[in-house]
Structure 1
Amino acid sequence: MVYLSVRGRIWLQAEAMNMVESVGNYIKHRRVPVMVRTGNSYVTFFVPAVSGESVAHTYQVLLAEELKKLGVRVCKYCERGIFLKSTSGDVYKEVTGSDPPKLGSSAKGEEIMKAAKGIEEIIVRSCGVEDIGGFLYAENPNVKRTSHFSTGYVIPVKEVLEVVSMEPQLHSRYALGTRFVRTGEGAAGQMIYYVEVSSAVFSFAFDLDTKYIGRYTFHIDNYGRPIVDIQEIDRRVRASLEALKRLLIEFPVGAKRTRFNPADLRWESIAIAVSDDVWTMPSSFVGDYIQRAVAKKSKFSCNTTVHAYAEGGCSGVDKCYSTLEEAVVGSLEDALNRWAREVQSS
């Protein structure tokens, strides 16, 4: 297997990347409570955030595109960025082209597991995104596939919590001088609305585990056995890595980007650990995360190589790069080389 763990700090200036609701003409940014220790007490800050669902959605859109390029099957919903994930029998039928198993109320043991095995197998064969990103078939029997990548909330780093800003900006839509202005009571030629915009240095986390891509994970008797052949697994792993590269370099995360593209979007630092088994980077919420990764690796390693970039330079890591792009490309080349050796030995 190849395991990648990404942690970083990214500048997002004047962004509105994760809006959660409209209250009248006021559009609110997602915010979360963050508690930190100050001396002998604790303080809670309510800060802007981008949800893990938003990051996961973006990654899976890129993943669908990369899978299609390599000839891997992707269902008609996932390739359009609609991640229904075979939730119901109706969706299952459209994704797989076959009817789901029908179990009676008296079905037991072996019959249930046989149906579950068939559901997992046919969904994984039918859609590479649902293989890598997971799914939950919520009818009888329930079948769950856990995502092979993990991410979470993108929140301001600890050092900026006291100064992070989030303010509403006034906007208007203008119709005066046209025949489309409403008449009568409440007539108006302008629509006034407010959008909350924030600026901060945000922490970022993403892990990718290739171990069970294309393999059974729900049916206990077949756990870890391949569902598709090694060439197909190879294509899926390569697509997952290419999608991660695009995510980190372009960072096309969030909504309202057509009019609220961040005024500044750049990585202050990033570290990518490539390992032969599960090895996760420390959180980038605190600024010394790269140093903590070096200390962790000195005590525990899974043939881990830490690739890093930082604006002020980085020391102690296995490979330090002068640009973000070099760090991302270098780490993913490392991952691809490891994966290629695994394919050759299988």
Structure 2
Amino acid sequence: MQITIGLSLRVLVNAEALNMAEAVGNYTRHRKAPVVVSTGAGYSVVYVPAVSGESIAHHYQLILAQIAKSRNLPVTSADLEGYFIKFTDKDCIKTLYPELKELNNNLDRLNPDELESAFLKASVVADVGGFLYLDKAKIIKRTSAIRFSYMLPTLDAIEQGGVALIPQLHTRYAPPELMKDYQKPFYVESGSALYTLTAELIATDIARQYYSKQIDGELSKQKIERVKAAIDALIALTDGLMLGAKRSRYNPLWKVKSAVVTLSKGPVEFIPSSGISRTYIAETYSRALQLTSIIEDETINIFAYNDENLEEPEIKHEHKRATYEKAATHTEALAKARDKAVKVLEALPK
């Protein structure tokens, strides 16, 4: 059985430099990505400002490390410093992970399930974000339980000209006697758009061991708290724009306009439709109805926040395994899904 938290949102972001890709001379470029749009007679490709899923995942894991530490859940010093190398190999463990000092002398003697257990007990971030340990004799791979899309402008924003990318002129100041050598202009590309972002968290994968058939008591005991921390990190990430670069002097104006959060329980994962189109709230509910009709042991709860007058679904109250509930904010929608997920997890057989 899979218990999955899905998130899709549309957020208005102005004057941002969240993900810079390269510098050419004194010009720093914003990351761009190709997007396919309909022209009526066919399709064309446009290049738009983007924020990579890797950038978003990095900041999510940093928030998760801070939350886990505050709740006395295990994290490493590397996690707290934002170095998500996650063990990698023997040399990496000896150099960057003093918390695993006792493990160093036994790395060759431990089998994969013992190593996996040790890594999971050392770091909630490695548990949720996944890791890859490489050794000549053994390879241990853990797929991330949290997944992010790129953050891209919505199709309606692109089609209506609501996407901008323009360089802003800045100057490095220096005292008059040094101006000739040090005071120079530079340019930073600034993006503004109505963006969309999709995320997925597989709650049942947290604290779950893949290499061992034995249930570890310590991990099992921490499972609920680890899931809460993982969802709360997602709430913090979207609520306060806890991501991106150049925020010390380029902190963007950020306003979540709408969001859909889903909680699915059953044999398959379910995530909301992408907010790239204005019909995504209604589409998500329609898909949930269809999927739960086909897969009878699947249930989907939907929590929606709508502050941009988007199309909403016509609710089929007789269909009990796909529910729809409105929320006053995107934060409330995520919090409702978190509370429901915890109840579902607590009710599962141990």
Matched-pair contact (CA < 8 Å) for 2:121–2:219: no
Give the drift of 1:281: 1.1
Q: What residue is the counterpart of 1:268 in the other structure?
A: 257
Q: What residue is the counterpart of 2:195 in the other structure?
A: 202
Give the drift of 1:212: 2.2
Whole-angstrom CA distance in 2 between matches of 1:169 and 1:16: 10
Give the drift of 1:192: 0.5
Matched-pair contact (CA < 8 Å) for 1:308–1:327: yes
Offset from partner CA, 1:87-113 (integer Å, 9 cap, x none): 12122232522226338xxxxxxxxxx
Q: What amino acid is aligned across from residue 115 of structure 1 in structure 2? A: N
Q: What amino acid is aligned across from residue 203 of structure 1 in structure 2? A: T
Q: What residue is the counterpart of 1:96 in the other structure?
A: 100
Give the drift of 1:69: 1.9
Q: What residue is the counterpart of 1:211 in the other structure?
A: 204
Whole-angstrom CA distance in 2 between matches of 1:304 and 1:244: 19
Q: What amino acid is aligned across from residue 265 of structure 1 in structure 2? A: W
Matched, 1:152 2:141: no
Matched-pair contact (CA < 8 Å) for 2:90–2:107: no
Give the drift of 1:231: 1.7
Q: What residue is the counterpart of 2:336 in the other structure?
A: 330
Number of residue pairs the alignment of both structures matches: 324
Question: Relative to structure 2, which stretch is displaced further, 158-167 or 92-101?
Answer: 92-101
Matched-pair contact (CA < 8 Å) for 1:216–1:227: no
Task: Show structure 2 runs of 5+ residues with no match.
Answer: 293-297, 316-322
Give the drift of 1:4: 0.3
Q: What amino acid is aligned across from residue 72 of structure 1 in structure 2? A: L
Q: What residue is the counterpart of 1:132 in the other structure?
A: 128
Whole-angstrom CA distance in 2 between matches of 1:121 and 1:231: 14
Give secondary structure in 1 for the equivalent of 2:250.
coil
Matched-pair contact (CA < 8 Å) for 1:214–1:227: no
Give the drift of 1:66: 1.5
Whole-angstrom CA distance in 1 between matches of 2:128 and 2:214: 14
Q: What amino acid is aligned across from residue 284 of structure 1 in structure 2? A: G
Q: What residue is the counterpart of 2:318 in the other structure?
A: none
Whole-angstrom CA distance in 2 between matches of 1:223 and 1:254: 39
Offset from partner CA, 1:272-312 (integer Å, 9 cap, x none): 00122321111211111111111111112332110000112
Q: What residue is the counterpart of 1:299 in the other structure?
A: 290
In structure 2, the CA distance between the partners of 1:228 and 1:193, relative to structure 1 (3 Å rule), is: same
Aligned Cα RMSD in Å? Answer: 2.0
Give secondary structure in 1 for the equivalent of 2:236.
helix
Q: What residue is the counterpart of 2:320 in the other structure?
A: none
Whole-angstrom CA distance in 1 between matches of 2:8 and 2:205: 22
Q: What amino acid is aligned across from residue 86 of structure 1 in structure 2? A: F
Give secondary structure in 2 for the equivalent of 1:253.
coil
Matches within 5 A, 1:113-124: 115-124=111-120
In structure 2, the CA distance between the partners of 1:102 and 1:324, relative to structure 1 (3 Å rule), is: closer
Q: What residue is the counterpart of 2:4 in the other structure?
A: 3
Matched, 1:249 2:243: no
Matched-pair contact (CA < 8 Å) for 1:215–1:223: no
In structure 2, the CA distance between the partners of 1:227 and 1:53, relative to structure 1 (3 Å rule), is: farther
Q: What amino acid is aligned across from residue 261 of structure 2 in structure 1? A: I
In structure 2, the CA distance between the partners of 1:53 and 1:42, relative to structure 1 (3 Å rule), is: same
Give secondary structure in 2 for the equivalent of 1:197.
strand
Whole-angstrom CA distance in 2 between matches of 1:45 and 1:203: 16
Matches within 5 A, 1:100-111: 101-102=107-108
Q: What residue is the counterpart of 2:45 in the other structure?
A: 44
Q: What residue is the counterpart of 1:143 in the other structure?
A: 140
Matched-pair contact (CA < 8 Å) for 1:32–1:49: yes
Give the drift of 1:227: 6.8
Q: What amino acid is aligned across from residue 96 of structure 1 in structure 2? A: L
Give secondary structure in 2 for the equivalent of 1:276.
strand
Matched-pair contact (CA < 8 Å) for 2:228–2:338: no
Task: Show structure 1 runs of 5+ residues with no match.
Answer: 104-113
Give secondary structure in 1 for the equivalent of 2:199.
strand
Give the drift of 1:189: 5.4
Match of 2:221 among 231, 236, 242: 231
Matched-pair contact (CA < 8 Å) for 2:116–2:209: yes
Whole-angstrom CA distance in 1 between matches of 2:235 and 2:55: 17
Give the drift of 1:129: 0.8
Whole-angstrom CA distance in 1 between matches of 2:87 and 2:181: 46
Matched-pair contact (CA < 8 Å) for 1:248–1:328: no
Whole-angstrom CA distance in 1 between matches of 2:41 and 2:214: 48
Whole-angstrom CA distance in 1 between matches of 2:233 and 2:78: 18
TM-score (norm 2): 0.86
Offset from partner CA, 1:197-220 (integer Å, 9 cap, x none): 011011111100111211222x2x
